[in-house]
Amino acid sequence: MIIPCIDLLGGKVVQLRQGREKVLEADPPLAMLEKFAAFPQIQVIDLDAAWGSGGNDAIVRELAQRAVIRAGGGIRTVEHALSLLDEGVYQVIIGTAAFTPEGVNRAFLEALPRDRVVIALDSRDGKIVTRGWRHAMQFTAEEIIAEMEPHGAGFLCTCVDKEGMLEGTDLSWFGRLRAATRLEITAAGGISTVEEIRTLMGMNIHAALGMAVYTGRLSLDELARMNAGSL
């Protein structure tokens, strides 16, 4: 499955390079949702909430009423996660709150319905990063992914080193993750060619796409046909 991404910052749809540098602003959220109407699921990330500098819950909830979305960014309390699910979000993406300094935050994850949770395993320089990709943990995604299997429906694995660079992603890393878990994996970060998407699909890995779509590197029409299995 190909999953287009809507990243929210200050109420606007943006694209960042490596989670830091704003590269572009796109059409308003509802307009982008309309552009992505051919895709069965949309990923929505609240960057303000991830950075602890505000939030875009009203926009997230409105999008959830109009499309099947998985939403993440700054979901750090059980109450927040459950409220989003109650408001129509299909799945919540849990990153920072999924971890303690020692490993898995079981108490948090076990308070949520497993089938409605996607665990974010974001990696920079080989280590898991949290708090808006600004804090590095002491373990790798490969080391912890199997331990986290009982607590979610799947994983969103972002190669932060490649994110927003349009230089390709780390297919070997995704291959190692695929070998380490039986659960659903969604790949993100640097995916910029149809060939990469096909390789990921061949590994039974979904592709979450941002910069390559917003810059026109990849055609939405072609991606929609791929998603439908006609290419």
Would you name the residues annotated as active-site residues?
A: 7, 122
**CA Rg, the chain, in Å?**
16
Give the 3-state secondary structure of residue 124.
strand
Output the six-digit token pair for 196: 């990469």
Type and span of the H or E element at 13: strand 12-17
CA distance 119 to 145: 9
Find, among 65, 63, 60, the residue nearest to 80 by Cα: 60
CA distance 52 to 75: 10
Q: Are strands 103-104 and 69-72 parallel, antiparallel or unpaired?
A: unpaired
